[in-house]
Structure 1
Amino acid sequence: MIAERVALRQRLDRATDKLESPVAVVDLTAFDANAAALTARAAGKPIRVASKSVRVRALLERVVRRDGWAGVMAYTLPEAIWLVRQGVSDDVLVGYPTADRTALAELAADPALAAAVTVMVDSVEHLDFIDSVIAPQHRPELRICLELDASWRPVGPVHVGVRRSPVHTAGQAGKIARQLVARPGFTLVGMMAYEAHIAGVGDLPPGQALRGRVIRQMQRLSYPELLERRSAAVRAVREHAELEFVNGGGTGSVAATAADESVTEVAAGSGLFGPTLFDAYRAWRPTPAAFFGLSVVRRPAPGIATVLGGGWIASGQTGPSRQPMPWLPEGLKYKTDEGAGEVQTPLIGPAAEHLRPGDRVWFRHAKAGELCEHVNEVHLVDGDTATPTPTYRGEGYAFLG
């Protein structure tokens, strides 16, 4: 492992030695290996790539061309429209409800777009909002997907998982499906249930053995309940609509979700980059593929090397797990009283003593696609060569930022 990391550092340094910091890279060998591993874990079910975890058009195009991958799960409607117009995919599911009037009007004005994009809903109020933008008699029918809440409610008010859809039971799903299909101007084509408490929570958090045991017990108890409830909900909805797809899962649950007979496709994206949050998963850990490099700019004291920048903090519950990880050279860590800073980041540890101004330190981001909100381009590393390609930001788009 140590030798592999030394070789990786040497290769990244050679590929980017003429580039200035900060520099973001994606190792194509690791990226492709992760894509192949996810395909194997999906066991024949197609994978819809979650674009928010990539945010580089060229890499989305690269993965959707692979066998076993089909379609995109976008995170905003404007992004979905852009991806279709750019020819990335003609099958884009928007993973979250939209309140973007401009994008809805654009979608409704173009029959080809309306046939390629599926909008997420979880209430009749979403349909009311869309109708307020453009009435059903003035647009083609819009494709909609119903989101089922996948969280676990073991007893009373206890809620384990993220707060997403209000549709939790099979009865609720059947009732709203009946209401959705009765509305003119819409076609119910899909269902989605994202088990965030399983797919998005690592069960082996470093240095937290007790918490890890609690998470594993929670996941062991909650997943059978979800399988039964999701299957019942799909059956209830199919009484009212011919569903084209039922989507579930994420990188952290691809194999388990693919085994659910009620699911027709799984979603994944973060596993392509292999960010640090996925180091805490026992079932499968992707190979780190995405990195950003910062330059050492001073040595304020023996045993300390300071890089310029570094405070690329990930979203979610704040804490050490949301900081980027100094990865190469091995043996670096943050000063506890400073952490990753906006303009400077002091690093300590055995490797710090050997760093000099101008040397490069490679970091891994805690989450996948958020890395690309900090740079206009990533360099795709193939062997010892690096080819620049724009991120969403580099193409002039910040769909959420």
Structure 2
Amino acid sequence: MTRAEASMLPTPMAEPALRDGEAYYRRLLRVVEGQRLPLALVDLDRLETNAQALQLRSGRLPIRLGTKSIRCVEILRHVQAMSAQFRGLFCYSAREAAWLHQQGFDDLLVGYPTLEADDFAAAARAVRSGATLTLMIDEADQALALAQAARTLGVRFRVALDLDMSSDLPGLWFGVRRSPLRDAQAALAVAACIREQAGALQLVGAMGYEAQLAGLQDRAPGSPLRNQLLRALKRHSQRELGRRRRQIVQALREAGHDIGLVNGGGTGSLEATAADTCITEATAGSGLYSPTLFDHFGHFHHLPAAFFALPVVRRPAPGLATCTGGGYIASGPAGADRLPSPFLPSGMRLLGDEGAGEVQTPVKLPPGFTPGLGAPLFFRHAKAGEMMERFDRLLLFRGDQAVATTPTYRGQGQNFF
């Protein structure tokens, strides 16, 4: 990343160097000229730069694109066409995976369990039409429900085990509450259940997602002690979970299970994932758009590539502007870091007593800047794919030229939960 590119970032460190940011703001103004607002847009040049950075960071590993973080068929196609290293999709819903197969995709790994009959039916239709589709489970009762559905629907489902990769430290659970499969004994018990359902289920792989490495920023401004503690916890957790993941995979293979797929990783942990010799592929997606929750990692930085533009519709007082829409709050623990971030022009900020609203969002303007009514202000979302749930279409651009408009999942009428 060049110094000029770094100066565009909406962080306190970038504030002294506004000229490059303002040049990008003028470019964005030309891109959205004449477009209906609010509008979501993606910079294809930056997206491709980020994709190449993900490739470098993942090293030897193929990258399975995380659809939850993208939610746009055209972007999925575009990135996969860049390199054969982008191989397969990591889906968040079985119905989503089946629908993506209809759009021409294959090698579909569903990262979350399901017990819904219509999800089973959609997955079965995709399998019957030739899809390589793998479903995720983490306990025997899920396996039994899936096996019963497979027999009813006349298919055999490929399955993978979701291994828990959190670190259980004295007085601290470092990670997410995801799966009960924390050791080889637990994984072997579920694998044995799958083997008993051999006509309906086939165990083909395992996933060990190190969420605490992939998703926690460790260089957040103003939090030096927390950052130091997080980096120490991450180092400890990486060593511990790496050993545990290798032990579980080895035990499964020694028990005669054909574990050909071992998935791990996320945008924030690609280097750690690639260092684990049992891993066969990494998942990444958020790094393509690079939302604000990925601004402050110590070992990498991608370029913000996805934005949304809101029109100014009110000027309630000098130094203030109110925009239409904008209350696009990210999931996770409630806090200021889940709010959308004013991006350009540099120096805008949300009001502490209002934040971002469902139908209007007021902002404090930078000194000397007074936008006209209807003028666009640009924001970034805290997470990647969640922004796409708010917009039917994406404007794709290069330089200062719009090159295409493409639908999001929402624009194609798809809502999987």
Q: TM-score, normalised by structure 1?
A: 0.95
Q: Secondary structure at the match of 2:115?
A: coil
CA distance in 2, matches of 1:261, 1:231: 8
1:176 partnered with 2:193: no
Please tell me whether the aligned partners of residues 376 and 392 of structure 1 are also in contact (alpha carbons under 8 angstroms). Answer: yes
Q: Secondary structure at the match of 2:118?
A: helix
1:374 partnered with 2:366: no
CA distance in 2, matches of 1:110, 1:398: 18
Aligned partner of 2:46 among 30, 47, 50: 30
CA distance in 2, matches of 1:276, 1:113: 40
Please tell me whether the aligned partners of residues 115 and 143 of structure 1 are also in contact (alpha carbons under 8 angstroms). Answer: no
CA deviation profile, 1:102-132 (whole Å, cap 9, x unmatched)? 1212322454456411000111111221234
Partner of 1:167: 181
Partner of 1:224: 239
Q: Secondary structure at the match of 2:41?
A: strand
Partner of 1:80: 97
Q: Sequence identity, in percent? A: 43
CA distance in 2, matches of 1:158, 1:311: 33
- The farther-off stretch of 286-295 and 101-110 is 101-110
Partner of 2:324: 308
Partner of 1:200: 215
1:234 partnered with 2:249: yes
Please tell me whether the aligned partners of residues 37 and 310 of structure 2 are also in contact (alpha carbons under 8 angstroms). Answer: yes
Aligned partner of 1:59 among 53, 75, 94: 75
Partner letter of residue 196 of structure 2?
A: A
Partner of 2:262: 246
Question: 1:330 and 1:223, CA in 2 relative to 1: closer, same or farther beyond 3 A?
Answer: same
CA deviation profile, 1:244-289 (whole Å, cap 9, x unmatched)? 2100010000111111101010000000001000012111121000
- How far the C-alpha of 1:359 sits from its partner, in A, is 1.5
Question: 1:299 and 1:219, CA in 2 relative to 1: closer, same or farther beyond 3 A?
Answer: same
Question: 1:284 and 1:110, CA in 2 relative to 1: closer, same or farther beyond 3 A?
Answer: closer
- How far the C-alpha of 1:383 sits from its partner, in A, is 2.3
Please tell me whether the aligned partners of residues 63 and 283 of structure 2 are also in contact (alpha carbons under 8 angstroms). Answer: yes
- The farther-off stretch of 344-353 and 388-397 is 344-353
CA distance in 1, matches of 2:49, 2:281: 20
Partner of 1:363: 379
Aligned partner of 2:370 among 331, 350, 354: 354
Partner letter of residue 124 of structure 2?
A: A
Q: Secondary structure at the match of 2:168?
A: coil
Please tell me whether the aligned partners of residues 321 and 365 of structure 2 are also in contact (alpha carbons under 8 angstroms). Answer: no
- How far the C-alpha of 1:322 sits from its partner, in A, is 0.3
Within 5 Å, which residues of 2 pair with 1:210-221? 210-221=225-236
Q: Secondary structure at the match of 2:160?
A: strand
Aligned partner of 1:274 among 290, 312, 316: 290
CA deviation profile, 1:210-246 (whole Å, cap 9, x unmatched)? 2212211211211100111111011011123112210
Q: Secondary structure at the match of 1:65?
A: helix
Aligned partner of 2:410 among 380, 389, 393: 393
Partner letter of residue 194 of structure 2?
A: L
Q: Secondary structure at the match of 1:281?
A: coil
CA distance in 1, matches of 2:375, 2:53: 34
CA distance in 2, matches of 1:331, 1:132: 58
CA distance in 1, matches of 2:263, 2:407: 29
Q: How many residues align?
A: 397
Partner of 2:4: none
Question: 1:103 and 1:352, CA in 2 relative to 1: closer, same or farther beyond 3 A?
Answer: farther
1:18 partnered with 2:70: no
CA distance in 2, matches of 1:351, 1:60: 40
CA distance in 1, matches of 2:130, 2:264: 23
- How far the C-alpha of 1:189 sits from its partner, in A, is 0.7
Q: Secondary structure at the match of 1:71?
A: strand
Q: Secondary structure at the match of 2:24?
A: helix
Question: 1:21 and 1:115, CA in 2 relative to 1: closer, same or farther beyond 3 A?
Answer: closer
Aligned partner of 1:258 among 266, 271, 274: 274
Question: 1:111 and 1:94, CA in 2 relative to 1: closer, same or farther beyond 3 A?
Answer: closer
Q: What runs of 5+ residues in structure 2 fail to find an aligned partner? A: 1-6, 8-17
1:71 partnered with 2:88: yes
CA distance in 2, matches of 1:21, 1:111: 41
Partner letter of residue 282 of structure 1?
A: G
CA distance in 2, matches of 1:174, 1:133: 23
Question: 1:369 and 1:382, CA in 2 relative to 1: closer, same or farther beyond 3 A?
Answer: same
RMSD over aligned Cα atoms: 1.6
Please tell me whether the aligned partners of residues 94 and 122 of structure 2 are also in contact (alpha carbons under 8 angstroms). Answer: no
CA distance in 2, matches of 1:351, 1:362: 17
Q: Secondary structure at the match of 1:106?
A: helix
- How far the C-alpha of 1:190 sits from its partner, in A, is 1.0
Question: 1:212 and 1:398, CA in 2 relative to 1: closer, same or farther beyond 3 A?
Answer: same
Please tell me whether the aligned partners of residues 332 and 352 of structure 1 are also in contact (alpha carbons under 8 angstroms). Answer: no
CA distance in 1, matches of 2:137, 2:124: 16
Partner letter of residue 162 of structure 1?
A: V
Q: Secondary structure at the match of 1:15?
A: helix
- The farther-off stretch of 96-105 and 286-295 is 96-105
Please tell me whether the aligned partners of residues 190 and 243 of structure 1 are also in contact (alpha carbons under 8 angstroms). Answer: yes
Q: Secondary structure at the match of 1:297?
A: strand
Partner of 2:106: 90
CA distance in 2, matches of 1:350, 1:108: 55
- The farther-off stretch of 371-380 and 338-347 is 338-347
